[in-house]
Amino acid sequence: MRFSRRQFASVAVFVTLAAGCNRQSAASPDQAAQSSPPEAPAVKVVHPEKKDVRRLIERPGYNIEAYERTALYAKIAGYVLKWHADMGDSVRKDDILAELYIPEMEVEFKQKEAAVGQAAAEIKQAEAAKLRAKAELKRADSQYARLSRLTAVLDKDQVEEYRLGFESAQAALAKAEADVDVAKARLKVAEADRDHVQTLLQYTKVRAPFDGVVTGRRTINTGDFVQPAAGNSVARSQSGVGERDGSLFVVEKIKPVRVFINVPESDAVWVRDGDVALIRVQSLQGEQFTGTVTRGSKSLNPQNRTLRTEIDLPNAEGRLLPGMFVNATIIAEHKNVWALPATAVITQGEQNFCYRVENGKAVRTPIQVGLRGTELVEVLKKQTKPTSAGGEPHWEDLGGDEIIVASDPASLTGGQAVRSSSDQK
């Protein structure tokens, strides 16, 4: 087929335009962007630092308790002679709170005291008899020794008579010594009997067991008859004071006071003796007091998996009263430990890890963590790659020169290219 000159020119223009369109499509901006690699994300990085990590363990809804609480009972039956303290009174250790009167026991004490005096007199008599026996023995010994040398003048019967007198004096001395021992033993028995009654008489004075406050007094009057309460006084003392339990007084030590709280198992491992505790008292408009963790039970309650923990509170002004409702916060603190921001630590199941930046890439690094605070996490160890092919990774301490991703590390994957932002530390 032959083309005219006009037809040939039209075909040439069409081919040229088609070629130009093809070149423009191949070099379009959208296709160029799709063919180039994505830009590495910018991440904020930090270095591990030695810091103090704090964790707040909050436990609401507990009561202030007296440091000590003792219910006092009558040890022996007697009549109330006098009251020296009443409810609300401050007392010192060994102060007399009340006195009882037991007339028959006082008479018995006088009898026992007289028996002691009689036993002491018997000892003196026995000692005198012993001295006489010693003197008689000495005289008989001298006489027998002198006459035994005169056997040529005296007959045998006379010498034998003096010998028997000497032996009799010896026996008399032995008896006198035994009488002294018996008299001393009787004195000890008499003194023990007297001391027993005297000890019982000491219970006629009801004394304060420690410095504190009388928080309860039985409603009886002078001259009333009281007697020892039957049964378990320890169990009854928890119910209060009065006719129900038979106690005469309840004394409580409120300087200091204490709070018992139950710490959950997840926090129990971090509670240490000496930790600072903050106590907020609702009835005092939420006023906060500072106390100290003094002891823990060292054993979790198997029913609720909690650790019973005691917090002691100074109470010099006496503003804190047993029974006040409080909220407690224990500040668990590890000082000068390697720490990372909480945002840099990722937890998946039971594994913790972070991302280190090496050669512009994010390296997933397992770590062992300790105390977790609201802003910082204590880091104990980091896992490093094996030193040889097929070797096992091992754990080592942080050095402080590691570059750790601190912004949204959960969005990264191991080996991903990253670039550090300008606020790198």
Domain ranges of the chain: 74-98+205-247, 104-202, 255-334, 338-420
Q: What is the mean pLDDT of the chain?
A: 83
- Spatial neighbors of 210 by CB under 8 A, at least 6 apart, are 68, 70, 93, 251, 253
Give φ, ψ of 164 to 5 degrees.
-65, -35
Has residue 158 got a pLDDT over 60?
no
Cβ within 8 Å of residue 60, ≥6 positions away: 327, 328
Q: pLDDT confidence of 163, banded at 50, 70, 90?
A: low
CATH tag, 255-334: 2.40.30.170
Q: Which CATH class is domain 74-98+205-247?
A: mainly beta
Burial class (CB within 10 angstroms; exposed 0-12, middle 13-18, buried 19+) of 300: middle
* Cα–Cα distance for residue pair 85/20, rounded to 1 Å: 114
Question: What's the rounded Cα separation, in Å, for the pair 355 and 45?
Answer: 10
pLDDT at position 11: 41
Using alpha carbons only, give the angle 318, 294, 284 rounded to the nearest 5 degrees: 35
Residue 96 pLDDT grade (very low, low, confident, very high; cuts 50, 70, 90): very high
| 419-425: long-range contacts, CB 8 A cutoff, minimum separation 24 | 419/40, 419/41, 419/42, 419/43, 419/360, 420/42, 420/43, 420/44, 420/45, 420/357, 421/42, 421/43, 421/44, 421/45, 423/44, 424/44, 424/45, 424/46, 425/45, 425/46, 425/47
- In which band, very low, low, confident or very high, does the pLDDT at 392 lie, cut at 50, 70 and 90? confident
- pLDDT (tens digit, 9 = 90+) per residue, 208-259? 999 999 999 988 888 999 988 765 544 444 445 544 567 899 999 999 999 9
Residue 191 pLDDT more than 70? yes
pLDDT(380) > 50: yes
Residues 6+ apart with CB under 8 A from 194: 109, 112, 113, 115, 116
Report helix, strand or coil for 366.
Answer: strand
Contact 228, 212 (CB under 8 A): no
DSSP assignment letter at 417: B
**pLDDT surpasses 80 at 5:** no
pTM for this predicted structure: 0.69
Task: Give the integer Cα–Cα distance in Å for 177 and 98.
Answer: 49
Separation of alpha carbons 364 and 355, rounded Å: 5
User: Measuring CA to CA, which residue among 213, 207, 208 is closest to residue 321?
Assistant: 213
Kind plus residue range of the DSSP H or E element containing 34: helix 29-35
Examine the pLDDT at 7 and tell me if it is beyond 60: no
Contact 127, 115 (CB under 8 A): no
Q: Specify the pLDDT at position 125.
A: 82
Q: Is the link from the previous residue into 341 a cis peptide, with omega within 30 of 0?
A: no
Residue 269's pLDDT band (boundaries 50, 70, 90)?
Answer: very high
What percentage of the chain exceeds 70 in pLDDT? 79
CATH topology of domain 338-420: 2.40.420
State residue 15's pLDDT score: 40
- Radius of gyration over alpha carbons of the chain, in Å? 49
Cα-flanking dihedrals φ and ψ of residue 307, to 5°? -105, 120
DSSP three-state, residue 91: strand
pLDDT at 18 over 60: no
